[in-house]
Structure 1
Amino acid sequence: MIASISGTVKQISLTSVVIEVGSTGGIGMLVHVPSSLAATLVLGKNAELATTLVVREDALTLYGFESSHARDFFELLQTVSGIGPKVAQSALSMMNEVELSTAIASGDNLALERIPGLGKKGVQRLILELKDKVGSTSQSHAPAAQLWRASITEALINLGYSQRESDKAIDVVASEFGAQVSAQPVAELLKLALQQLGRS
């Protein structure tokens, strides 16, 4: 298992990055990442990701995450019947692992049905098979639900916006959702914050 990767970010797309590794460089590793993570990475800067290698008969695919906890949750999602790495990656692009844990533990079908490729039956299986496994995790991480704000702030600053601009845009987005803001997908909140900055 390739447990982590560290190096210079050479390319960034919506759902993948190329990281140049090795002391002399020249070797670029393609790593598939959640879109919310891709938005926080910066070309030319060093990045360290927790990774897992998915082995299939016709391909070897490396997936990367912000933390080992996110990687472990990615692997947990794939223990559910019908959920493969692409759907698991989509899930972590829509919500971080704390938000997913909370949605699964509380049986929030509406939030989970937003995940591309999952569908209503997939949501039912997800809740049925993981509810007991993530229940204690979501409760112990409940205060971390505010991580959405830190994640979006970091992404906006990496995109060139100031702390003040970022805070102002995030405040507007937060006011639109009120108490439900932490239940929204991080990727969607980031998109709305960028739209707000585009208007200012």
Structure 2
Amino acid sequence: MIGFLRGEVLFSDGYEIIINTVSGVGYQIYFSHLLSEGSYTGVFISHIVKEASEELYGFKSLRDKKMFELLTSVKGVGPKSAFNLMAALSTTQIIDAVINDDKKSLTKAPGVGAKAASQMILDLTKKIEKIKMYSNRSIQMPNVESEAIANFEQPLLFEEIVEVQETVHEIHDNALMQEAMLACKELGFKEDKIMPIASKILEQNTIQKAEQLVHLVLKEV
């Protein structure tokens, strides 16, 4: 299953994008944000496999991807309806609408009626806040001349730039701890209870992302 793609934006109209990856394969993805053609981006992917087709839905952050997948787990809510809802409302707005029993906001998206909104609230009220444990960080990538990437004599140029970019974005332990603490607080846990557990986990494990740390902390609580 495809979970993430990165590459040059060949086409974008605010509903779909086509990304040309470094391997030379272009992927057509449902994506509700308008991107500059010729720029480079990284997109989190939810790969939907159907009997007669496959569809890729793209999101700026892991948190948005997980929200989409949670919405599609609701009876009667398909990928297109979930995608339309996320194009109309932010992940935070959807969380608030479900918690506050706000059917009116949930029905703003095409294809999401009162019945589907009621089912979302029924199915997700006790689950939806856990989405906050996932990172909301988008993947920023440098713009590079496409000719340089295509140059056969420099096949690693794009990968080298991406590697540098990922290094720049690597979160050190203090920043990792702060982000994890914020996520745990949003889930209702007190910092003085969570901090010792998180510190112990960081000492004993190599953690790259805050959501990994949060998952391990919640297992210990």
Which TM-score applies when normalising by structure 1? 0.63
In the TM superposition, structure 1's runs of 4+ consecutive aligned residues that sit over 2 Å from their partners are 135-138
User: Counterpart of 2:53 in structure 1: which amino acid?
Assistant: A
Within the alignment, does 1:128 sit opposite 2:130 as a pair? Answer: no
Cα deviation for residue 135 of structure 1 reads 4.2
- Map Cα deviations across residues 74-102 of structure 1 (whole Å, 9 max, x no partner): 00001100001100100110011111111
> For 1:109 and 1:73, how far apart are their aligned partners in 2?
17
Within the alignment, does 1:88 sit opposite 2:95 as a pair? Answer: no
Within the alignment, does 1:51 sit opposite 2:49 as a pair? Answer: no
Q: How does 1:36-185 map to 2 (within 5 A)?
A: 38-39=33-34, 41-135=35-129
Partner secondary structure for residue 132 of structure 1: coil
Cα deviation for residue 104 of structure 1 reads 0.7
Show the counterpart of 1:158: none
Cα deviation for residue 14 of structure 1 reads 2.9
Q: In the alignment, is the contact (CA less than 8 A) between 2:67 and 2:131 conserved in 1?
A: no
> For 1:109 and 1:58, how far apart are their aligned partners in 2?
33
Q: CA RMSD in A?
A: 1.9
> For 2:82 and 2:93, how far apart are their aligned partners in 1?
14
> For 2:86 and 2:117, how far apart are their aligned partners in 1?
14
Task: Specify whether residues 51 and 136 from structure 1 end up closer, same or farther in structure 2 by C-alpha distance, changes over 3 A only.
Answer: closer
Where is the helix percentage greater, Structure 1 or Structure 2? 1
> For 1:44 and 1:32, how far apart are their aligned partners in 2?
18
Show the counterpart of 2:14: 14
Larger radius of gyration: 2
Show the counterpart of 2:175: none
Aligned length: 135
User: Counterpart of 1:66 in structure 2: which amino acid?
Assistant: K
Structure 2 residue runs without a partner (length 5+): 137-221
Structure 1 residue runs without a partner (length 5+): 145-200
- Map Cα deviations across residues 100-131 of structure 1 (whole Å, 9 max, x no partner): 11111111111111111010111111111111
> For 2:131 and 2:54, how far apart are their aligned partners in 1?
30
Show the counterpart of 1:4: 4
Cα deviation for residue 71 of structure 1 reads 0.5
Within the alignment, does 1:31 sit opposite 2:56 as a pair? Answer: no
Higher relative contact order (CA 8 A, sep 6+): 1
Q: In the alignment, is the contact (CA less than 8 A) between 2:66 and 2:131 conserved in 1?
A: no
Task: Specify whether residues 28 and 78 from structure 1 end up closer, same or farther in structure 2 by C-alpha distance, changes over 3 A only.
Answer: same
> For 2:5 and 2:131, how far apart are their aligned partners in 1?
26
Q: Percentage identity across aligned positions? A: 29
> For 2:20 and 2:88, how far apart are their aligned partners in 1?
27
User: Counterpart of 1:29 in structure 2: which amino acid?
Assistant: Y
Which TM-score applies when normalising by structure 2? 0.57
